[in-house]
Structure 1
Amino acid sequence: MRLLGPAEIRILADKLDLRPTKKLGQNFVIDAGTVRRIVRVADLSPDDVVIEVGPGLGSLTLALLPAAAQVVAVEIDPVLATQLPITAAEHEAAGNLTVINADAMKITLDDLAGHVPTALVANLPYNVAVPVVLHLLQTLPSLRKGLIMVQSEVADRLAAGPGSKVYGIPSVKAAWYADVRRAGPVGRTVFWPIPNVDSGLVSLTRRDPPPTTASREEVFEVVDAAFAQRRKTLRAALSSWAGTPADAETTLRAAGVDPSERGEQLDVHAFARIAEHRP
C-alpha cells in the first residue's frame, strides 16, 4: 500500500489549515519506513482488532489497516477525525477502519462501536502517554498486547525495573497489567514538526496481576504513597497511609519487606503484599 510521505502530509495539513499544537502533543510521523517498522514490531495477526490513539493525519493508520482485521482510531481533534476516513478511502483502505472522535482518556468499551480491541498500536501524544496507556489497560481487558511510540524518557520509565533511577509510579502501575519492555529507539527527524526530544518504542504484553486479596485501587494507593517522597524509607513514606510510623513498620514486616527500603526497590508483587497487610 502507498503510505503518506512528507509532501503528502504537508499538503493535507495545508488543506485542513492545520498547525500542530503542543497542547494536543501533535507530532506527525512523516517517514513511511518508521510506520512499517512499528507495524512489523507490533507483530499483529490478521484477526487482531487494533485501537490506535491519536492517528492524526493517518500515517500509521494506513500501515495498520492491511495488517489487522479492524482498526479503531480514536482522535480527539474533530477536523482530523473527519479527514481520516477520506484519506483512507483515497488510499483504497477504508473498509476496516472505524474512526471515533473522542478523548482517549475517557473512552470505554461501550464507545468503540461494538469492536473489542485486542492490540494497542499508537504514536501517543507525549503529554498524555502514561495516563492514556494505564486507562486503556484498565478499561479494555481485551487488550492482549501493544506497541506504543512515546518520548524516550517516558519509554524508560514505563519499562524500568526495581532499582533503576527512573523506576517509579508509571513503572509499577504498568507492571500490574503487563510485561513492559523497550522495543527500540526512534529518531527525531521522522516527525513533523521535529520534536526537541527523542522517542522510543515500548512493547506491552498483558499478564495477570499479582495474586492478592487487595484491590487494584488499594495497591495503587500504596504505590502513590511510597513514591510521593521517594527519598524516604518506606517506614516514613507509608506512615500516613498506615496510620503511624509504627503501623507502617508492622505492615511492612508482615508483608516481608524491610522497612528501611525505599519504594524504588520493590516490584509490583511486594506492593500488593503491603496493601494486603494494611492495618
Structure 2
Amino acid sequence: MARESDAPEPERSALLGPKEVRELAERLGVSPTKKLGQNFVIDPNTVRKIVRLAGVDAGDRVIEVGPGLGSLTLGITEAGADVTAVEIDHRLAAELLHTARAMQPEIFADESAPRLRVVRSDALEVTEAHLGSADPEVLVANLPYNVSVPILMHLLELIPALRGGLVMVQAEVGHRIAAGPGSKEYGSPSAKAAWYGDWRIAGTVSRRIFWPVPGVDSVLVSYARRAEPLGDEGERALTFALVNAAFAHRRKMLRQALQPVLGTLEQTVAALEAAGVAPTDRAEQLSITDYLGIARAHARGTSDPAALVR
C-alpha cells in the first residue's frame, strides 16, 4: 500500500472555480457592481462550453470584453488562442496578468510575445491604437448586461476583420440580436447586427454559473461574418440612419418615419418605391438589405447623401 506522501497530487485546474473567484475578489477588495454590469462566471464547464461553441482553435486571435477576474480568459488561452482582453476596472485589469501567470504559466513561455494582452479601457472607447498589432479575428465575451448592444456594435464597426465569435448576453437582448424581420423581437439591433453577418442563439446558460446570481436569464449568441460585405462605409452609415429613424417611430408607416433622413414626403416615397418597398410598410417588415436598397435608391437621387447622416 502506497504511503500517503507517495500518492500523486490531484491535477491542478487551469481554470477558475467558485472558490478561486471568491478568494480573488476578496483579496482585491472587489465587489461586483451593477454599474459595470459585473457578473463573474464561476463554472469551468460552462467556460469550456463557451470556448467550444465559439469555435476557438489554437493560434486564433481573440478579443474579449470584460474579462473580470479571468474565468473566460483562461478558458480561451487554455484552448491555445491568443487573447486581447479589454477591461474597464483598473484593479481587475492589473490583476489579470498575475492570475494568468499563476494558473497557466505556459501563456508566458515566450516573454517577447505572451499570449495574453490586457487593455485598460472602456470597451466603448477602444480604438485601433489600443489594439495595435493584435489584429483580432474572433470575439468571445461575457458582455456587460447594461451596455451589451452598444459594445457589440462598436466592435463590429471597429474590427471588420472579425470572422466570427460568441457572446453571452441577457436572454432578451440575445433574442433581439438574432431576430429576423417580422418577429416580435426584431428591432434596430437585429437589423444592424445583420449588416455584419449571421446571428443565432447557440445555447442557454444557468443563472447559477454566475456570481452574484443575476436576476435575468442569459443566452449564448454566435456570429459568422458575411462572405462579402453588404456595402461600403458610406452606405452603412446611411442605412443605419434609416434603421434608427424607422424604429424610433416603428408604429408609423415608413413614408412618415423616414422623412427625417430622406427629406420631403415626395422624396421619401420616391426612394421607397425605387427600392421596391411599399411606403405603407413599417420598420419591422424590412430586412437590412431592404434598408440598404432604400439608401442606394436615395443616393442615386441626391448629390451628397452623406450630408444626411453627419
User: TM-score of the superposition, structure 1-length normalised?
Assistant: 0.96
User: Residue by residue, what CA displacement relative to the aligned partner does 1:35-56 show, whole Å, maximum 9, x if unpaired?
Assistant: 0100110111222100110000
CA–CA separation in structure 1 for the residues paired with 2:116 and 2:76: 10
Deviates more, 1:7-16 or 1:86-95: 86-95
**Structure 2 match to 1:118:** 137
CA offset at residue 212 of structure 1?
A: 7.2
CA offset at residue 157 of structure 1?
A: 0.7
Which SS does the other structure have where 1:62 is aligned? helix
Alignment partner of 1:63 is 2:83? no
**Structure 1 match to 2:292:** 272
**Structure 2 match to 1:192:** 211
Moved runs in structure 1, 4+ residues, more than 4 A?
A: 211-214
**Structure 2 match to 1:148:** 167
Which SS does the other structure have where 2:140 is aligned? strand
Aligned with 1:82 (options 94, 106, 125): 94
CA offset at residue 238 of structure 1?
A: 1.2
CA–CA separation in structure 2 for the residues paired with 1:255 and 1:50: 39
Identity of aligned residues (%): 54
**Structure 1 match to 2:253:** 233
CA–CA separation in structure 1 for the residues paired with 2:223 and 2:165: 5
Residue identity opposite 1:220 in structure 2: F
Cα distance change, pair 233–68 in 1 and its aligned pair in 2 (3 A):
farther
CA–CA separation in structure 2 for the residues paired with 1:217 and 1:163: 23
Asked whether the equivalents of residues 55 and 165 of structure 2 are also in contact (C-alpha less than 8 Å), the reply is no
Residue identity opposite 1:261 in structure 2: D
CA offset at residue 97 of structure 1?
A: 0.8
Cα distance change, pair 28–213 in 1 and its aligned pair in 2 (3 A):
closer
**Structure 1 match to 2:6:** none
CA offset at residue 187 of structure 1?
A: 1.5
Query: Which structure has the greater CA radius of gyration?
Result: 2
CA–CA separation in structure 1 for the residues paired with 2:122 and 2:234: 30
Aligned with 1:254 (options 270, 274, 291): 274
Which SS does the other structure have where 2:63 is aligned? strand
CA–CA separation in structure 1 for the residues paired with 2:33 and 2:133: 31
Residue identity opposite 1:251 in structure 2: A
CA–CA separation in structure 2 for the residues paired with 1:212 and 1:272: 11
RMSD of aligned alpha carbons: 1.4
Residue identity opposite 2:16 in structure 1: L
CA–CA separation in structure 1 for the residues paired with 2:25 and 2:205: 23
Residue identity opposite 2:47 in structure 1: V
CA–CA separation in structure 2 for the residues paired with 1:179 and 1:66: 27
Which ranges in structure 2 are unaligned for 5 or more consecutive residues? Answer: 1-12, 109-114, 302-310
CA–CA separation in structure 2 for the residues paired with 1:236 and 1:124: 35
CA offset at residue 7 of structure 1?
A: 1.1
CA offset at residue 247 of structure 1?
A: 2.2
User: TM-score of the superposition, structure 2-length normalised?
Assistant: 0.87
**Structure 1 match to 2:235:** 215
How many pairs align?
279
Aligned with 2:62 (options 21, 44, 50): 50
Which SS does the other structure have where 2:56 is aligned? coil
Aligned with 2:103 (options 79, 91, 104): 91
Residue identity opposite 1:2 in structure 2: A
Which SS does the other structure have where 1:277 is aligned? helix
CA–CA separation in structure 2 for the residues paired with 1:185 and 1:69: 24
Which ranges in structure 1 are unaligned for 5 or more consecutive residues? Answer: none
